[in-house]
Amino acid sequence: MQQLRGTKDILPNDIIFWQYLYDTASKFFTLSNYHEIRTPIIESSTLFKRSIGNATDIVNKEMYSFIDQGSREITLRPEGTASIARSFISNQLYNSKKINRLWYLGPMFRYERPQNGRQRQFHQLGIECIGSINPMADAEVIRIANSFLTKLKCSNYKIEINSIGNIEERNKYKEKLVQYLIPYRGDLDKDSQQKLHVNPLKILDSKNQKTQEILRRAPCLQEYLTTDSIKHFHSICEYLDLLSIKYSINPYLIRGLDYYNYTAFEIKTNLLGSQDTICGGGRYDLLIKQLGGPNTPSVGWAIGVERLLLLIQNNLIIERNKPYIYIAHRGQRTQNTVLKIISLLEEQEISFELNLENNNFQKQLKQASKVGAQACIIIGDDEVSNKSITIKWLSNHKQENISLINLSTLIARLKDLSSIN
């Protein structure tokens, strides 16, 4: 039985990297007073249509939607921000504090052609700074992304930022852009031709070389920005300069979601081929109000976890969990002693592995060494008859026979030794 195309099992050898990433994120974001939030995987389809935008590829082509038994249209969430905004409104988080700093990590779903680092079920790690219009908030989230990647020993990336203005400014620019592109319609790539009257700004993001050559002479969005947009963007650049964060201004950078305004940014790498964006985000001041909440300016970003792990996995040296004790036993008469030892080890939080194959002791000892145990407790018929156990230290191959009367003392000794190791 094969797994569904576009899905991937996360196996035990991979989980240690995922867990490391989660633990690192939790500790790191706490330093800036960001708090974890977990939203449902399923949401009303209306949420994403209203927030992401009907003209986007996500809504038109990529969402996993279905009708449930209550005749409701449900969607597996394709991204995290809309769900966070919905949760902010429905749980009235605005009543508890003026600014909410939140972070999340979880699965998302989009129907796309599967590639290395991009599956149909994928995972995003993101932060949202909800409640501040201050450009310092934009700089803060970019700083956190940059510092987090550095913490993970991720290198060879660049930060690109742009100001995409507000809705009115973009609408004026769209008109001029469409007017410019119409004479070149036949020369545009097929995807850009389809977007020309539906979502023309996304043409700026085309990877087609011929389309990019046409765009070099196109009107620039920055020409249509008003004083507020320019001032906000310049302030962000000043903050990033003060923080010594390297960045470049990309006037063609347009995020694929309709809710963004003012600031858009991406962090890109040249190590993943065409899938070069590992982090993307921006400001979304109207989204929460648009969804029925109070006027709440916000800014945030999301990182693709699979892509991030491809970049950092070879740089991480993570010790795999190993049992401290291996329990080798043979025969029916050993069961009572084995169960008693297991209870004591669990009580003292000493890691162990119990042999379940009932093979000879030589093979069990080999398995104990293979799994990396420090010591092997051996219980056979002789030990049962003598009311004792044998413990073999695998590092020096010495062994001791210990009376069951002294079992608690042995467990305490093992506890001290395991805590040192």
How many CA atoms are closer than 13 Å to the CA of 37, on its beta-carbon side?
23
Packed helices 135-151 and 12-31: angle between N→C axes, nearest 10 degrees: 140
Strands 73-76 and 42-44, bridge-based pairing: antiparallel
Cα–Cα distance, 208 to 268 (Å, whole number): 18
Residue 39 labeled ligand binder:
no
How many CA atoms are closer than 13 Å to the CA of 411, on its beta-carbon side?
18
Residue 80 labeled ligand binder:
yes
| E strand residue ranges, 142-185 | 157-165
Cα–Cα distance, 221 to 219 (Å, whole number): 7
Residue 413 labeled ligand binder:
no
Cα–Cα distance, 24 to 27 (Å, whole number): 5
SS3 of 268, please?
strand
H-run or E-run covering 173: helix 167-181
Residue 185 labeled ligand binder:
no
Cα–Cα distance, 224 to 175 (Å, whole number): 11
Residue 110 labeled ligand binder:
yes
Residue 81 labeled ligand binder:
yes
C-alpha dihedral (321, 325, 328, 332), degrees to nearest 10: -100
Contact 302, 148 (CB under 8 A): no
Length of the chain: 421
SS3 of 332, please?
helix
Residue 211 labeled ligand binder:
no
Residue 213 labeled ligand binder:
no
3-state helix, strand, coil in the chain (%, to 5): 45, 20, 35
Question: Shortest CA distance to 151 belongs to which of 160, 139, 143, 159?
Answer: 143
DSSP-assigned beta bridge partners for residue 35:
102
Residue 53 labeled ligand binder:
no
Largest CA distance in the chain: 96
Residue set of the binding site for L-histidine: 79-81, 110, 124, 128, 255, 259-260
Residue set of the binding site: 79-81, 110, 124, 128, 255, 259-260
